[in-house]
């Protein structure tokens, strides 16, 4: 990875250039405002700069978007009033103390944590919420996986596992296993289906080739819109040429 500088008009941008075995140029803006360009091994710096000029408006839009939150990132306390996502919707956390009941219940824009501890006990609230998320993952991910798998004519059923991944929503390990990021439980079901479909397509085409995207489009014609929704609302900002 090399650090390069790109100038356009009066603006100058530093970006990390990563070359790998790919056919297209990709541009990523991260929440910390860092810029990453992924390029084919044979792409020239001139081609990369032309690509960045074409994506300049999108680049500025994403930088402006993340700048709004630069001073708003904070360590979650898991107390009433904080916001959390679940299946594509944002909920406000509400914590109430009960004598003999501990549960997590989402309803009408609120995730209610019932706890036997003090409502200000963020450590315990976090534990209850994370356990609830895991229960939903164990139920919803296999359900969506079974549904999406029916769109394919594979003569085997790959294993589905959940793994924390810092920069991926899903991963195809082999013909026997697919991993999903647990953070996907915060995305809507169409986004979850998109990631599963993407990884199932990799069972036939390992690389992001034309044939891969042809298969993906045949299984999910609106995949690009769904992918953008997933990245903009829930996770990383990624743009491809």
> pLDDT, tens digit, for every residue of 130-141?
999 999 999 999
Asked if residues 58 and 67 have their Cβ atoms less than 8 Å apart, the reply is no
Expressed in angstroms, the distance from the first to the final Cα of the chain is 20
Report the C-alpha dihedral over residues 107, 111, 117, 119, rounded to 10 degrees.
-110
Is there a contact between 189 and 220 (Cβ–Cβ < 8 Å)?
A: no
Looking at the structure, tell me whether residues 169 and 229 fall in a common domain: yes
Query: pLDDT-derived band of residue 72, with 50, 70 and 90 as boundaries?
Result: low
- CA torsion sign, 201 to 203 to 205 to 207? positive
Decide: helix, strand or coil at residue 27.
Answer: strand
Q: How far apart are CA 137 and CA 148, in angstroms?
A: 16
Q: Residue 236 — very low, low, confident or very high, per pLDDT cuts 50/70/90?
A: very low
Question: What is the average pLDDT value for the chain, to the nearest integer?
Answer: 86
Token representation of residue 143: 């359900």
Under a CB-based contact definition with an 8 Å cutoff, are residues 86 and 111 in contact?
yes
Number of domains in the chain: 3
Q: Is residue 74 part of a domain?
A: no
* Owning domain of residue 113: 83-136
pLDDT recorded at residue 241: 34
The token pair at 49 is: 């700069």
HSE (side-chain half, CA atoms, 13 Å) at 183: 14
Is 9 domain-assigned?
yes
111 pLDDT exceeds 90? yes
Q: Assess whether 126 and 159 both reside in one domain.
A: no
Does 167 reside within a domain? yes
Same domain? 152 vs 202 = yes
Instruction: Tell me, yes or no, whether 150 and 231 share the same domain.
Output: yes
Is position 26 within any domain? yes
Q: What is the pTM of this model?
A: 0.68
Asked if residue 229 and residue 193 are part of one domain, the reply reads yes
């Amino acid at each position: 990875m090399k650090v390069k500088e790109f100038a356009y008009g009066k603006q100058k941008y530093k970006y990390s250039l990563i070359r790998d075995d790919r056919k297209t140029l990709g541009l990523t803006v991260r929440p910390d405002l860092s810029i990453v360009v992924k390029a084919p091994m044979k792409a020239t710096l001139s081609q990369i700069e032309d690509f960045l000029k074409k994506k300049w408006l999108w680049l500025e839009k994403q930088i402006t978007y993340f700048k709004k939150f630069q001073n708003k990132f904070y360590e979650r306390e898991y107390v009433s009033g904080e916001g959390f996502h679940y299946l594509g919707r944002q909920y406000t956390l509400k914590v109430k103390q009960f004598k003999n009941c501990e549960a997590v219940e989402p309803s009408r824009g609120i995730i209610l944590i019932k706890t036997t501890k003090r409502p200000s006990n963020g450590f315990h609230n976090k534990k209850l919420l994370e356990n609830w998320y895991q229960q939903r993952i164990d139920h919803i991910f296999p359900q969506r996986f079974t549904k999406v798998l029916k769109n394919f004519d594979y003569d085997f059923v790959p294993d589905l596992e959940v793994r924390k991944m810092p920069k991926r929503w899903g991963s195809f390990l082999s013909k026997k296993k697919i991993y999903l990021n647990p953070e996907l439980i915060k995305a809507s079901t169409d986004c979850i289906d998109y990631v599963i479909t993407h990884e199932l397509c990799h069972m036939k085409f390992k690389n992001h080739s034309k044939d891969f995207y042809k298969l993906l489009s045949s299984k999910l014609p609106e995949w690009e819109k769904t992918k953008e929704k997933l990245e903009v609302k829930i996770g990383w900002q990624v743009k491809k040429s």
